[in-house]
Structure 1
Amino acid sequence: TGFFFTSYTAYKYMFAYVTIRAYESGGLFFYGLYRYSMTGLLAANVLFITYMGIKRGAVQAPLLAPLPFIVLYCWRYTEKKYKVLSETIPYDTAVRDDDDRVNNSSDAQVTHQELLDSFQPDFLKHPKVTGPAVVYPYPHRIKNEPLLDPYWALNDVYVEDIPEGMDPKEYMELIAQEAYESPELGLSSSIHSGSGSPRGGSGKPLIHHVSNNRLHA
């Protein structure tokens, strides 16, 4: 139990703060992997039953005969029970979210069509799988040193995370994100591209502090 708990904690931390993935499918790749795995298992069962029949396994072959049907049943059951739930959301959840948006909106004339136009395929996906593939400074380094120096510029230790020779516009596009939230740090930052160079006189990107612990470039 201790081993599995420790492994879960370590891998969860690595997934959230250490590992930076260049591509994230949001779990869609799992269905193809599961299909190939179950197909291979089904073929292996049929092959093994055939092998036992050739070897005159008068007892083994009949006892193993139900295995392919058990595999097919489990395959259909798991996809029917979990696949649809993972790809869609309950209707009442969608209605409740839309109602919350209308009630919390400053515009009282928010129409249903406007809600439909604002809907995104990744609406309810976790931010960890919808955020940009590259984030500067690297999230797992933020805890080691303060993010900002006394002059409210990016700390020197994080400057090396930014590739040398990168075009400022390209740099701002890479780090632009609506929100990055870290539950351990209690840090919520929103970085947006603006006018002018993203770097200050010292050659470091300027990040100014505003209310609610939000950091804006």
Structure 2
Amino acid sequence: MSAAFTALVIFLFTGALLPVNRTFRQTPGGVLVFVASNGTHTDVVLPLQDSLTGRRWRSHFPDSSFQARFAGYEYAAFGWGSEGFYLASYDHQLHGPATVLRAAVPGPALMHVRFLRQAPHPGPHMVPLRISAAEYRVLTSQIAASFRQDSLARYELRNAAGYTPHDFFFRATGRYHALRTCNDWTVRTLRRAGLRAPLKSPLAGPVLYHARQAK
């Protein structure tokens, strides 16, 4: 094992333990957001429309029929990840070594958006946070910047359908690779908005752990 590899492993494990924005405190009456996980991947769950900041996500989705389809939905889960890894997951089977190795080298990314009829229930894999309007503006700006947009500022669909009738893939900015994973995207997004997060974490567990420590 080379010294560089050993240093990288130490950095990743140490980064997962070290909190950034450790003085972050929740805002009573603030915008309700969530940090979510399926055990391996993390998402940021946001209201589709918020009265405190005026952010309206629906206006950026492809067309009026798409927007009308989800008019009664209140929240959406946003995640970023490897295009190849996401699309290889359509069969819900375990990924083979070739898929994992391809995702380790720089490649295109997608945004995964899952629409929710209402705010999710807090639980072991769903951490609620009340944040200020200023923090929410930064948080949503970070997420919006991860979408590729057309000339009308609409997000570009990658596929006509996702895993279910309620989720879709959109073309994303940035390149996915072994040192910039889906969970690293969540960490950076939370950190830049001033929310508590690990310094660095390729794994989902530390992301939820640090979000849960927010008072």
Larger fraction in strand: 2
TM-score exceeds 0.5: no
Q: What TM-score does the superposition give when structure 2 sets the normalisation length?
A: 0.22
TM-score normalized by structure 1?
Answer: 0.22
Q: Which of the pair has the greater relative contact order for Cα pairs under 8 Å at 6+ separation?
A: 2
Give the structure with the higher percent helix.
1
